A = this chain, B = another copy of it.
């Protein structure tokens, strides 16, 4: 808990020189800088957070708002929190958590008390409360996810559409003519934003190819959904669904004696879980949290510097990983 004046005395310089040496906002001679750094080291100096906020007009804190919804997938969510935390620390920022009732109300509070320099919005619902709040708040706010009414907002999200297109292209290139998608359980298409985006991208593509629309969400079991796909004569399947469904599908195919990729080709799209954990290695275009979090932080930092950055949606590029679940030869 040493103060800056103690460091200054120990280094034999003025307070302001210490401040500038540490912030790097003014050139300081090498010798002086060295003495200051030594003093900082010896005294274990850490700038007082409150004083720095008050004088510097920067808190070095981002708020992370995340309502813990009933349908939130905990492991995925944790991965995003971790990703945000890592991204923030990289630029010298800490994360302040706004959960539960405070997920919305807290945004107002931390913004107008100047507790945080920016806000990252997680676990975004289509009709999210926080959309209205974000518009009325005067500090940089970035959504990770895309709410329905996103005009004027800054959003970052995985490019689900692009990922589906990419998977589709791969299957087409492998010679598949009947391609299906096994989707999430029905209700996910109402409470979340990305399942319908993936589905629509897929259907749109089928329509463009004038092919039958073979999209099957999970109604009862993944097994039944798989049945529906197979009886429609599908040879290439895009899995845009839960971890459990992934497991069921690979297992069921094995039990039926259907080989991957010889009989059926599979590509997983948008998975947040570890696709390597199944018996069958799967080609995948996973949803990795870190790039989205990095981009969100990057945008806030730009806003903090420039004060000029157009609202809009920033999509994170899908990345394809091959593991041999797509046939390279032409399928019958």
Contacts and interface: CB of A to CB of B under 8 A. Distances in A.
Contacts of A47: 113
B59 A113 contact: no
A109 interface: yes
B113 A100 contact: no
Nearest to A54: B50
Interface string A65-76: 000100010110
A78 B74 contact: yes
A99 B82 contact: yes
A18 to B, nearest CB: 15
A122 to B, nearest CB: 12
Contact of A85 (B50, B78, B102): B102
A311 B20 CA distance: 42
**Chain A residues touching B, range:** 35 or more
Nearest to A72: B78
A106 to B, nearest CB: 8
Contact of A46 (B85, B94, B95, B112): B112
A97 B99 contact: no
Given A50-B50, A102-B85, A44 B78 contact: no
Interface of A: 1, 44, 46-54, 59, 61, 64, 68, 72, 74-75, 77-78, 81-82, 85-86, 89, 94-102, 106, 109-110, 112-115, 138
Given A49-B110, A68-B82, A96-B97, 16 more contacts: A1-B138, A46-B112, A48-B113, A48-B114, A49-B113, A50-B59, A50-B114, A51-B54, A64-B97, A74-B74, A74-B77, A85-B100, A85-B102, A86-B99, A86-B100, A96-B96
